[in-house]
């Protein structure tokens, strides 16, 4: 037997459920939208961070390009500096004092000094090698020479090395002291 009449309690329960259902549906939609907003916010932050990294990389690349733009030209001009230094060192002392050649020698020396000034203005510096320990990042050992210096000490420079700002432009070609062939005597024994 079915009862067509409903109790007031059942009716209240039905009304509560109907009233609550839109809130549940609305709550689910709100939660879903909030999750979507949070995901989009994360994507936006990631994109902004990536753009900032790209901008920094581009600024660094542009700065490096400005700082090292003359690298190839500088390498080429180093051979001119080498030849000028060789020419100056080949002039005998007697010729430096002769009246007919004195002005020519002074002109070559002034040209060498001006070239050094141009190098300095453009961040090109000569590597000091003699007496230093061999640094494979700055020097290229060409020969080992017997010497009273500690092994690995640079005792001869065949060709000067140069840096452009903080980068190697050309390694110095050097001769290093080799280890003595004589056995060492332990004085403490």
172-177/139-145 β-pairing: parallel
| Both tokens assigned to 92 | 């005998």
Instruction: Name the H helices within 69-183.
Output: 71-90, 93-97, 99-121
Domain boundaries, the chain: 9-69, 71-122, 124-181
Q: How does pLDDT run across 32-59, given as a tens digit for each residue? A: 899 999 999 999 999 999 999 999 999 9
d(CA 163, CA 167): 6
* Cross-strand partners of 156: 175
* CATH of span 124-181: 2.30.22.10
The pLDDT value given to residue 16: 61
Q: What is the mean pLDDT of the chain?
A: 85
Flag whether pLDDT at 180 surpasses 60.
yes
d(CA 61, CA 69): 11
Question: What is the pTM for the complete model shown?
Answer: 0.62
d(CA 154, CA 141): 9
Give me the phi and psi of 176, to 5 degrees please.
-115, 155
| Both tokens assigned to 177 | 């002291």
The pLDDT value given to residue 29: 82
């Amino acid at each position: 037997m079915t009862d067509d009449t409903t109790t007031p309690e059942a009716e209240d329960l039905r009304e509560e459920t109907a009233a609550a259902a839109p809130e549940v549906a609305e709550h689910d939609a709100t939660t879903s939208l909030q999750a979507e907003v949070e995901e989009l916010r994360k994507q936006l932050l990631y994109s902004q961070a990536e753009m900032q990294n790209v901008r920094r990389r581009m600024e660094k690349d542009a700065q490096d390009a400005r700082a090292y733009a003359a690298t190839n030209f500088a390498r080429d001009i180093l051979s001119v500096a080498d030849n000028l230094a060789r020419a100056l060192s080949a002039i005998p002392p007697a010729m430096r004092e002769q009246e007919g050649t004195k002005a020519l020698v002074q002109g070559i020396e002034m040209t060498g000094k001006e070239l050094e000034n141009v190098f300095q203005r453009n961040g090109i510096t000569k590597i000091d090698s003699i007496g230093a320990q061999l640094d494979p990042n700055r020097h290229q050992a060409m020969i080992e020479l017997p010497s009273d210096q500690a092994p690995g000490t640079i005792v001869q420079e065949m060709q000067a090395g140069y840096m452009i700002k903080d980068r190697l432009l050309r390694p110095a070609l050097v001769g290093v002291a080799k280890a003595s062939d004589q056995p060492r005597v332990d004085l403490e024994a």
